[in-house]
C-alpha cells in the first residue's frame, strides 16, 4: 500500500471523486468533513456510503476550524500528503453570510497550513478557484494574469489562501500547490449549482432562473477530469522555480516551493447551450425565466491549462455532451 493521504471535505462533491481516485491507485485515505447543512446532508451521507465500501478509507467527522482536533489527527497519522478541499462554497451565499467564509476558508485554511508545517507534511495540495480572476476579462485566464480584483468574498478567500500558502512555503519550506477549479459538474454534484438546480426544476415543471439572459460562458469541467488532475498534482510536490526573478516576479511560481495551476476544460460553453444539452439529456424542455446579471457573477470563465498539462500530462477533455449525459443519467436514478 502507498502512503496515507488526508482528504478534507471528503463528503463533498470533488472530495468523493478525489478519494476514489486515490484509493484506486493504492493509497490509504483518511477523509474528514464537518457535514454542515449548507445543503442536504443526506447527499453527503450518500457519498460517504460509496466511500465506506472501500476497505482503505477511514472517515472522521470533524471541522478544520477546530485546531486542537486537527492537530490530534495529524499526530495520529503523520500524513505525507494532504489534499485540502474543505471550504464554505458558493459565490452568492458569501454575500449573505460572510462570517461563515471567514471561519471556514480563512481560519480553517490557516489551521491546515500550521498542521502541515508542524507535522512536516511533504505536500499540501489545496482548492483555489477561477473566482480569483474576478473583474479580469483577459481570457483565456492564465495563472500569471492579474487576480487582484475579486467580485465576491468567496473569491477573495480563495485568493487569500494562495497568499497564505506562499508565506508558509517561503518561511518554512512547505511545498504547496493551489488548483484553480473551473465550474465543476457531474454525478453527485452539489444541489446549489446550476446542473442540479436546472434538472430538478425541469423535471418538476418549474421555471429555471437564467441569469444575464443566458449570455454567460462557463468553462464546465467534468468532475472525473478534475479528480485526475488533483491527484496527479498531489503526487508532484511543488519545488522552487529556478528561473523566478524577484525583479519580474511571476505570481504562479516562486523561489519557494509554491505553485498555482488552472484546472478546467478550456472550452467555454454558453449557458443557453448547456441548458439545451440538459433538456435533450432529460428528455424534457425547460421553462425559462430570464433575469439580469447576479451580483458576484462574472461574464465568462475560460482556463488556459497548458501549465497543468506540461507538469502532469493531464488535460481535462470530457465533452460537454458526454458529461451532461452522464450527469443526467445519474440524476434520474438518484432522484427516483
Residues 175-213 have pLDDT tens digits of 999 999 999 999 999 998 999 999 999 999 999 999 888
Please determine, for residue 88, whether its predicted confidence score (pLDDT) is greater than 80. Answer: yes
Please determine, for residue 1, whether its predicted confidence score (pLDDT) is greater than 70. Answer: no
Q: Tell me, what's the pLDDT at 91?
A: 75
Percent of the chain with pLDDT over 70: 99
Nearest-angstrom CA–CA distance, 145 and 326:
33
Structural domains in the chain, CATH included, are: 4-182+223-264+303-316 (3.40.50.720)
Mean pLDDT of 39-68: 97
Percent of the chain with pLDDT over 90: 87
Using pLDDT thresholds of 50, 70 and 90, give the confidence band for residue 292: confident
CB atoms under 10 Å from CB of 87, counted, come to 24
Mean pLDDT of 17-40: 96
Q: How many CA atoms lie within 13 A of 202 on its CB side?
A: 23
Tell me if 19 sits within 8 A of 226, measured CB to CB: no
In this predicted model, what pLDDT tens digit does every residue of 214-237 receive, in sequence order?
A: 889 999 999 999 999 999 999 999
Residues present in the chain in total: 336
CB atoms under 10 Å from CB of 293, counted, come to 13
Tell me if 289 sits within 8 A of 280, measured CB to CB: no
In this predicted model, what pLDDT tens digit does every residue of 132-172 receive, in sequence order?
A: 999 998 999 999 999 999 998 999 999 999 999 999 999 99
Tell me if 182 sits within 8 A of 263, measured CB to CB: yes
Instruction: State the pairing for strand pair 176-181/57-61.
Output: unpaired
Rounded to two decimals, what is the model's pTM? 0.95
Instruction: State the pairing for strand pair 4-8/81-84.
Output: parallel
Using pLDDT thresholds of 50, 70 and 90, give the confidence band for residue 76: very high
Instruction: State the pairing for strand pair 269-270/81-84.
Output: unpaired
Among 85-89, 97-101, 151-155, 276-280, the range with the most confident prediction by mean pLDDT is: 276-280
- Catalytic residue positions, numbered: 154
Note the helical H segments in the chain: 13-24, 41-52, 67-77, 91-96, 98-101, 108-118, 153-172, 194-204, 223-234, 271-282, 306-312, 320-335
Nearest-angstrom CA–CA distance, 115 and 71:
6
Closest CA to 250 of 143, 130, 135: 143
Q: How many CA atoms lie within 13 A of 311 on its CB side?
A: 24
Q: Tell me, what's the pLDDT at 89?
A: 84
Using pLDDT thresholds of 50, 70 and 90, give the confidence band for residue 93: confident
Mean pLDDT of 240-246: 96
Kind plus residue range of the DSSP H or E element containing 258 = strand 258-263
Amino acid at each position: 500500500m502507498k502512503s496515507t493521504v488526508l482528504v478534507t471535505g471528503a463528503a463533498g462533491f470533488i472530495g468523493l471523486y478525489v478519494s476514489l481516485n486515490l484509493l484506486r491507485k493504492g493509497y490509504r485515505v483518511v477523509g474528514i468533513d464537518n457535514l454542515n447543512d449548507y445543503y442536504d446532508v443526506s447527499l453527503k451521507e450518500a457519498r460517504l456510503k460509496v466511500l465506506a465500501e472501500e476497505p482503505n478509507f477511514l472517515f472522521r467527522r470533524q471541522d478544520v476550524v477546530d485546531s486542537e482536533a486537527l492537530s490530534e489527527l495529524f499526530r495520529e497519522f503523520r500524513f505525507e500528503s494532504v489534499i485540502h478541499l474543505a471550504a464554505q462554497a458558493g459565490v452568492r451565499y458569501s454575500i449573505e453570510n460572510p462570517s461563515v467564509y471567514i471561519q471556514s476558508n480563512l481560519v480553517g485554511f490557516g489551521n491546515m497550513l500550521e498542521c502541515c508545517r508542524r507535522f512536516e507534511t511533504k505536500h499540501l495540495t489545496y482548492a483555489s478557484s477561477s473566482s480569483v480572476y474576478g473583474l479580469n476579462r483577459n481570457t483565456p485566464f492564465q495563472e500569471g494574469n492579474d487576480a487582484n480584483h475579486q467580485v465576491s468574498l468567496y473569491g477573495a478567500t480563495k485568493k487569500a489562501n494562495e497568499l497564505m500558502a506562499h508565506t508558509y512555503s517561503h518561511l518554512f519550506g512547505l511545498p504547496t500547490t493551489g488548483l484553480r477549479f473551473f465550474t465543476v459538474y457531474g454525478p453527485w454534484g452539489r444541489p446549489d449549482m446550476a446542473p442540479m438546480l436546472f434538472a430538478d426544476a425541469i423535471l418538476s415543471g418549474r421555471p429555471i432562473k437564467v441569469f444575464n439572459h443566458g449570455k454567460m460562458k462557463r468553462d464546465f469541467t467534468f468532475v472525473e477530469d478534475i479528480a485526475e488532475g488533483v491527484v496527479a498534482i498531489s503526487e508532484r510536490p511543488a519545488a522552487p522555480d529556478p528561473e523566478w526573478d524577484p525583479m519580474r516576479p511571476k505570481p504562479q511560481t516562486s523561489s519557494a516551493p509554491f505553485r498555482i495551476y488552472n484546472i478546467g476544460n478550456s472550452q467555454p460553453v454558453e449557458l443557453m447551450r448547456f441548458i439545451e444539452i440538459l433538456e435533450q439529456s432529460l428528455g424534457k424542455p425547460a421553462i425559462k425565466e430570464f433575469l439580469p446579471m447576479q451580483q458576484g457573477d462574472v461574464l465568462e470563465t475560460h482556463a488556459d491549462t497548458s501549465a497543468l498539462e506540461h507538469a502532469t500530462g493531464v488535460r481535462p477533455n470530457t465533452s460537454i455532451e458526454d458529461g451532461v449525459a452522464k450527469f443526467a443519467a445519474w440524476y434520474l436514478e438518484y432522484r427516483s
